[in-house]
Chain A
Amino acid sequence: MTDIVRNTQAASTATTASTATTAANTVAAIVPSPFSVVLRWMSRRWQHFILAPLVLLWLSPMIWIVLTSLKTKVEVFDPDAGILPAVLNFANYPATLAVAPFGMYLVNSILVTGSILIAQLVTITLAAYAFARLEFPLKRFLFTLFLLQVMFPIYAIFLTNFVTLRELGLINTLPAMIVPFVASGYGTFMLRQAFRQVPSELSDAARLDGCGHLAILWHVYLPLVQPTLVAFGIISVVTHWNDYMWPLLVTNSDSVRTLPIGLGLLAKSDSGADWTRLMAGTTLVVSPLLLVFVIFQRRFIDSFMHTGVK
């Protein structure tokens, strides 16, 4: 994508240059007025006038968070201080890390989010294949139940989930944050739609090539729905990485808490919110996600373009 944009830009610059040269050669007296040059540039790049403010709007919270994390406590509440910190003050970061065991929280967050993702990929793949390609009794009814689960607000089942987990003796453990999310109605639905796009002749061919259901799924279906899997992966990871309510409900000791809970501790200090440390903490919490996004940016965008998920 970027390559194409770059190429067209290069090409258009070249054209402009050549027209300018020809114009200069033939009618040396007439120089194009600066105004018309600007006008032409604007007419060609008009999208940038819309996109640039939008980019700023989306980036502003992130920029504000990072800038605030570099300020001193006094500076935050000083009406005369500018948006930029007077001195770059990195002291907030070690201070934040000292408040709570963020390293442990990070490990917990990775364990919880990773386990949920892996478990979900297994369950939704199998369920979606069954709904997309197999015939079995009550198929429609069961699928409706799955869809119903998507429409149900998650908060409505918090209590019952909590009771179930307590019965199982899982409260205040890592599995408490994983088990309720190992299946996903949304993911099953999304993947089923993707599977249905795969021509059935391909699975016929695979059957003749000696594949059973699992082999067909592994060798034919999964490679073909990769974009959907990636798109679902992002949604799942972002949701559970940032999840605050449920982990807060089922944990009460440091050893099992996740990063968002750690952030909450900063916000609820007795002396009111500790903004500088809170922002430093937030920067730390979102940076792994940002990093992953930057690395796989192209892949992610392709996936979302492909699946039409917004």
Chain B
Amino acid sequence: MATVTLQNICKSYDKRDVVHDVSLTIEDREFMVLVGPSGCGKSTTLRMVAGLEDITAGQLVIDGVDVTHAAPQKRDIAMVFQSYALYPHMTAYRNMAFGLMKTTKLSKAEIDSRIHEAAEILNINDLLDRRPKELSGGERQRVAIGRALVRQPKVFLFDEPLSNLDAKLRNRMRGELKRLHRELGLTVIYVTHDQIEAMTLGTRVAMMSKGRLQQVGAPMDIYMHPANTFVATFIGSPEMGLIPCKANGTGMLSHTAFQAGIDMGQAGLPDDLILGVRAEEVSLTQGIGMARGRVERTELIGAEALLEVAVGDERITVRGAVAGAPEPGTEVGLDFDLSRVRLFHGKTGHAIDLQVDLQD
């Protein structure tokens, strides 16, 4: 196993930048998740690590060796594709053996023992004689992972491997991947657009948007302290409510629906600010509350209720109890958890490190 270092990696097609100046280090045995909306460059970044795309500028180092321009098979990596990419005309066994026969000088017996070892781990011993056509989606997925495992590479690359599975199976495979990573001590780079996968699988998460790295950190770190409004709304479900406010000179944060006093500990605060509030950081109150809002929509999702509340022109989501959840149209009072809400720069969207004191 090994570390992977991306230094100022860029990718452009015909002068159109797709990936812009990405620098990232994946530590040994780390599960790094690249997450972002489609078209953000995460898959391209992964394909550059794999060697399937040329690196326009920058440097890629795996285990201390510069592999920026090395052929894919020289990089000691294995990849699991979204569509699994199993060879349709080969059995599961041949699929797993093919790469070993091509890239290593292992004997038949050694290849055989590696395949059975991997099949044991993935519980696919009975499927080895079957062709991909005769396997279910989940089984194909296991064979595809098996094909990567037998290579015993330094780094595993996953390109949205779970997005072709149904919700239930995806959940199970997520647990399975987590277990494999823990038990086998794999170094993984995992691409997904699903923030839940990012949160649950990653030891660290790298958030990308428009070809740029937005934030890198532990999942809960990113959840609690998003670097900007983009990360704030992408990570976490339901998404964070954003309320644009004005800061007036007297240290008050004002909005049509409420006013809040700010501790002006930091000078040079911009006039326009955005208040970020997660659903669990707001509570409904019987009294007047810090702010007033009107319930627009009530979703009962079993254990709890998600209420969409209009505060002025903005809408935020509030978690509440199912029992006594207010009907749409009801006026409610809202209390914010002052220790947790956050502020963003109104123009750039960058997070501002500040203690907020809300008053009604």
Report whether chain A binds chain B: yes
| Chain A residues proximal to chain B, CB less than 8 Å | 199, 201-202, 204-211, 215, 219-220, 223-224
**B47 neighbours in A (Cβ, 8 Å):** 204
The answer to whether A220 and B87 have CB atoms under 8 Å apart is yes
- B39 within 8 Å of A by Cβ? no
The answer to whether A208 and B79 have CB atoms under 8 Å apart is yes
The answer to whether A205 and B85 have CB atoms under 8 Å apart is yes
Q: How far is the CB of A76 from chain B (nearest CB, A)?
A: 53
Which residue in A202, A223, A224 is a CB contact (below 8 Å) of B85? A202
Which residue in B73, B86, B88 is a CB contact (below 8 Å) of A208? B73
Which residue in B71, B81, B103 is a CB contact (below 8 Å) of A205? B81
CB proximity to A under 8 Å, residues B191-245: none
The answer to whether A208 and B99 have CB atoms under 8 Å apart is yes
**A223 neighbours in B (Cβ, 8 Å):** 89
**B99 neighbours in A (Cβ, 8 Å):** 208-210
CA distance A72 to B87 in the complex (A): 60
Q: How far is the CB of B92 from chain A (nearest CB, A)?
A: 14
The answer to whether A209 and B103 have CB atoms under 8 Å apart is yes
The answer to whether A204 and B81 have CB atoms under 8 Å apart is yes
**B51 neighbours in A (Cβ, 8 Å):** 207-208
**A207 neighbours in B (Cβ, 8 Å):** 51-52, 71-73
**A209 neighbours in B (Cβ, 8 Å):** 73, 98-99, 102-103
Q: How far is the CB of B97 from chain A (nearest CB, A)?
A: 10
A223 closest partner in B (C-beta): B89
| Chain B residues proximal to chain A, CB less than 8 Å | 47, 50-52, 71-73, 77-79, 81-83, 85-89, 98-99, 102-103
The answer to whether A204 and B52 have CB atoms under 8 Å apart is yes
The answer to whether B83 and A208 have CB atoms under 8 Å apart is no
**B52 neighbours in A (Cβ, 8 Å):** 204, 207-208
Extra contacts besides A207-B51, A208-B50 (10): CB < 8 Å: A201-B81, A204-B79, A205-B81, A205-B87, A206-B87, A207-B71, A207-B72, A208-B77, A208-B79, A224-B89
Which residue in A202, A204, A208, A210 is a CB contact (below 8 Å) of B87? A202
**A205-B79, A209-B103, A210-B73 given; A219·B98 CB < 8 A:** yes
Q: How far is the CB of B68 from chain A (nearest CB, A)?
A: 17
The answer to whether B83 and A201 have CB atoms under 8 Å apart is yes
CA distance A202 to B144 in the complex (A): 12
CA distance A10 to B72 in the complex (A): 56
**A202 neighbours in B (Cβ, 8 Å):** 85, 87
**A219 neighbours in B (Cβ, 8 Å):** 87, 98
Question: Can you offer 22 A-B residue contacts whose CB atoms are under 8 A?
Answer: A199-B85, A201-B82, A201-B83, A202-B85, A204-B50, A204-B52, A204-B79, A205-B79, A205-B81, A205-B85, A207-B72, A207-B73, A208-B73, A208-B77, A208-B79, A208-B99, A209-B98, A210-B102, A210-B103, A219-B87, A220-B87, A224-B89
**B78 neighbours in A (Cβ, 8 Å):** 208
Q: How far is the CB of B74 from chain A (nearest CB, A)?
A: 9
Q: How far is the CB of A122 from chain B (nearest CB, A)?
A: 21
CA distance A211 to B100 in the complex (A): 11
**B72 neighbours in A (Cβ, 8 Å):** 207-208
Q: How far is the CB of A253 from chain B (nearest CB, A)?
A: 47
**A208 neighbours in B (Cβ, 8 Å):** 50-52, 72-73, 77-79, 99
